[in-house]
C-alpha cells in the first residue's frame, strides 16, 4: 500500500462560551483547525486533525500546520501508511522537529491501518479496556464566582473532574480555587492548571494559600526546574503538561519525582504513534495520565477516545471531549459525551466521516 496524496482543509471551530481564556491573558475566540486526508493507491483513505491552542501556547500555530504539510507531504508519497514506526522515522528524517505538523498525518495513517485491518484504532493501540472513558471539563479563566457557577453547571451535565484555568494574579487564583472547591461534592476532582503562568514566588504563594484544599497543581511555571522547586515545597498532587514533550523528559521527571500525573497531548508529542510510546512508558513507570490534545474538533476527539480506551483505566486520570465545546460538527461518527464519559467507536479505524463538502477549497493539495 502506498500514499498517493495528502490534502488539508482549514476549518473554524467557534465556541459555545464565545471564547476560551487561560494564563497570562491569552484567549481564543474561534479555533483554527486543520483536517488532513491521506489517500492511498488502494482507494482507502484516512483522516487526521490538528488544532493548536492559538499561536502562543506551545511552539505551534495553525498556519504552521499548513506550511509544514506543504514541506513534508511530498516526501511521503510512495511510502506505506500502515508501517507507522517506519513512517514516523521517515517524517523525522524529512523535517526536524515540528511534531504538531506530523500529528495529523500519523493520525490519518492509524485510521488507514484500522480500515485495512478491519479493527478500531483502540484495538490496534493495545486493546479496549472499557466501554467508556472519564472526561474532565476545562473551565475558562474568568472571575472566581463565575468559574464556580460554570463548574456547578458542567457538574450538572455529568462531569466530575474540573480543570480550572488559573495562572493569573495569585490572589485571584487562590480565590478561584477556593470558590470552585466550595461547589464540589465528594468524589469530584479539581485541578488548578496555571499553564506556565506563575513565576516561582507566585506559585509558592498559591500552593500555600490553598494548602487545605483538595486540589491538584498543574504546570505552575514555565520551566521544568521551576516546577520541580514548587513540587518539592507542596504536598498537593502535581501534574506536568507543557514540559512533557518527549520520552527523555518523562524519564527524567520520573527519576526526579517531579510529578504524579502527566498530560499527554497527541500533537505535542507528534501523533498517536509517539503518544502511544509515552503512554506505554507511563504505564510501566506507574504514572497516571490525562490523554488529550491541545485542542480539536470531532476527529481529534475520536483519536483521544481511542487512545484513552486503550489505556488501563487506573492510569487514565482523564481525557476531554473537545467536540462539545462548540457547535460545529466537522465529522460524523465522533464520540458524544454521556454523563461525563465518552466511548471510542467500534468501527474500523477512527470511525469518523468528515464533512468534506462543508470545508471549501483545500489549503494543501499534494499528489
Ligand atoms: Mg494543562
pLDDT of residue 361: 98
The three-class DSSP label of residue 165 is strand
Mean pLDDT (whole number) for 21-48: 97
Q: Which CATH number covers residue 206?
A: 3.20.20.120
**245 falls in which pLDDT band (50, 70, 90)?**
very high
β-strand 316-319 against 331-332: which pairing, if any?
Answer: unpaired
Nearest to 58 by CA among 270, 216, 318: 270
Contact 343, 309 (CB under 8 A): yes
Backbone angles phi, psi at 218, to 5 degrees: -115, 130
Distance 242 CA to ligand 1 centre (A): 7
CA angle 130, 134, 137 (to 5 degrees): 160
Mean pLDDT, rounded, for 73-80 = 98
pLDDT attached to residue 111: 99
Same domain, 174 and 319: yes
State how far the Cα of 234 lies from the Cα of 250, in Å rounded to an integer. Answer: 20
- Asked if residue 360 and residue 346 are part of one domain, the reply reads no
Same-domain check for residues 137 and 185: yes
Total tally of structural domains belonging to the chain: 2
- Tell whether 110 and 128 lie within a shared domain: no
225 CA distance to ligand 1 middle (Å)? 17
Q: Alpha-carbon distance 133 to 40, whole Å?
A: 32
Distances (CA, A) of 170 to 23, 143, 174, 199, 202: 11, 13, 6, 10, 6
Instruction: Give the residue numbers annotated as catalytic, written as ranges.
Output: 165, 265
Asked whether residue 361 falls in the same domain as residue 241, the answer is no
Segment 32-54 shows an average pLDDT of 98
Whether residues 358 and 342 fall in one domain: no
**Rounded distance from Cα 239 to ligand 1 centre (Å):** 8
Rg (CA), the chain: 20
How buried is residue 260: exposed, middle or buried, by Cβ count under 10 Å (0-12/13-18/19+)? middle
Same domain, 47 and 133: no
Q: Could you give the angle at the alpha carbon of 64 between the alpha carbons of 62 and 240, nearest 5°?
A: 70
Q: Let me know whether 254 and 191 are in one domain.
A: yes
Give the pLDDT band of residue 266 (cuts 50, 70, 90). very high
Q: Please tell me the distance from the alpha carbon of residue 229 to that of residue 204, in angstroms, as a whole number.
A: 9
Does residue 163 share a domain with residue 34?
Answer: no
Place of cell 483521544: 304
Q: If you measure from the C-alpha of residue 195 to the centroid of ligand 1, how many angstroms do you get, rounded to a whole number? A: 6
Sheet of 261-265, strands arranged across = 136-139, 161-165, 189-193, 216-218, 238-240, 261-265, 288-292, 316-319
d(CA 260, CA 216): 9
* Cα–Cα dist 358/117, whole Å: 29
Give me ligand 1 centre to Cα 241, in Å: 5
pLDDT, residue 185, reads 96
- pTM for this entry: 0.97
> For residues 312 and 315, what is the distance between their CA atoms, to the nearest angstrom?
6
pLDDT confidence tier of residue 54, bands split at 50, 70 and 90 = very high
Residues 140 and 219 in one domain: yes
Banded model confidence at residue 56, pLDDT cuts 50, 70, 90? very high
- In angstroms, the CA 107 to CA 124 distance is 12
Please report, for the domain that includes residue 62, its CATH number.
3.30.390.10
The string of DSSP codes covering 85-128 is: HHHHHHHHHHS-S-HHHHHHHHHHHHHHHHHHHT-BHHHHTT--
Pairs from 218-222 (Cβ < 8 Å, separation ≥ 24): 218/163, 218/191, 218/192, 218/193, 218/194, 218/263, 219/193, 219/194, 219/195, 219/243, 219/263, 220/167, 220/194, 220/196, 221/194, 221/196, 222/196
Backbone angles phi, psi at 29, to 5 degrees: -100, -40
Pair type for strands 216-218 and 238-240: parallel
Residue 330 Cα to ligand 1 midpoint, Å, equals: 25
pLDDT in tens, 199-210: 999 999 999 999
What pLDDT score was predicted for residue 201? 98
Average pLDDT rounded to a whole number, residues 242-262: 98
Segments in the chain forming alpha helices (H): 62-72, 84-94, 99-117, 121-124, 144-156, 170-181, 200-209, 224-231, 247-256, 266-269, 272-285, 298-309
Expressed as residue numbers, the domain containing 274 is 124-352
Residue 85: pLDDT band (50, 70, 90) is: very high
Helix and strand element counts for the chain (H, E): 12, 18
Q: Are residue 161 and residue 295 in the same domain, yes or no?
A: yes
Q: Based on the domain organization, do 335 and 195 belong to the same domain?
A: yes
Task: Name, in order, each residue with C-beta under 8 angstroms of 214's C-beta and a sequence gap of 6 or more.
Answer: 181, 190
Amino acid at each position: 500500500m502506498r500514499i498517493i496524496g495528502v490534502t488539508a482543509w482549514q476549518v473554524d471551530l467557534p465556541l459555545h462560551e464565545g471564547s476560551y481564556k487561560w494564563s497570562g491573558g491569552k484567549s481564543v475566540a474561534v479555533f483554527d483547525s486543520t483536517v488532513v486526508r491521506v489517500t492511498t493507491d488502494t482507494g482507502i483513505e484516512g483522516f487526521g486533525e490538528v488544532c493548536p491552542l492559538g499561536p502562543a501556547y506551545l511552539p505551534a500555530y495553525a498556519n504552521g500546520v499548513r506550511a509544514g504539510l506543504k514541506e513534508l507531504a511530498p516526501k511521503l508519497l510512495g511510502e506505506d501508511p500502515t508501517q507507522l514506526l517506519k513512517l514516523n522515522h521517515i517524517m523525522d528524517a524529512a523535517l526536524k522537529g515540528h511534531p504538531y505538523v506530523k500529528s495529523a498525518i500519523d493520525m490519518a495513517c492509524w485510521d488507514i491501518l484500522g480500515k485495512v485491518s478491519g479493527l478500531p484504532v483502540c484495538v490496534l493501540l493495545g486493546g479496549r479496556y472499557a466501554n467508556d472513558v472519564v472526561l474532565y471539563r476545562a473551565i475558562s479563566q474568568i472571575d472566581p464566582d463565575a468559574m464556580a457557577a460554570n463548574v456547578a453547571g458542567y457538574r450538572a451535565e455529568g462531569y466530575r473532574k474540573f480543570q480550572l484555568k488559573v495562572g493569573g494574579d495569585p490572589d485571584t487564583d487562590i480565590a478561584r480555587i477556593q470558590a470552585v472547591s466550595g461547589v464540589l461534592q465528594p468524589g469530584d476532582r479539581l485541578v488548578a492548571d496555571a499553564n506556565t503562568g506563575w513565576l516561582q514566588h507566585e506559585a509558592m504563594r498559591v500552593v500555600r494559600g490553598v494548602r487545605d484544599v483538595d486540589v491538584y497543581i498543574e504546570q505552575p511555571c514555565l520551566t521544568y526546574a521551576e516546577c520541580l522547586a514548587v513540587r518539592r515545597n507542596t504536598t498537593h498532587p502535581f501534574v506536568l503538561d507543557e514540559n512533557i514533550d518527549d520520552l527523555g523528559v518523562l524519564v527524567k521527571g520520573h527519576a526526579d519525582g517531579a510529578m504524579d500525573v502527566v498530560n499527554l497531548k497527541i500533537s505535542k508529542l507528534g501523533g498517536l504513534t509517539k503518544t502511544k510510546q509515552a503512554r506505554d512508558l507511563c504505564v510501566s513507570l506507574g504514572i497516571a495520565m490525562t490523554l488529550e490534545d491541545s485542542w480539536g474538533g470531532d476527529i481529534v476527539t475520536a483519536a483521544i477516545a481511542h487512545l484513552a480506551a486503550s489505556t488501563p483505566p487506573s492510569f487514565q486520570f482523564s481525557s476531554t471531549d473537545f467536540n462539545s465545546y462548540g457547535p460545529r460538527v466537522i465529522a460524523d461518527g465522533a464520540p458524544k459525551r454521556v454523563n461525563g464519559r465518552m466511548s471510542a467507536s467500534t468501527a474500523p479505524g477512527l470511525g469518523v466521516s468528515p464533512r468534506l463538502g462543508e470545508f471549501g477549497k483545500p489549503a494543501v493539495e499534494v499528489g
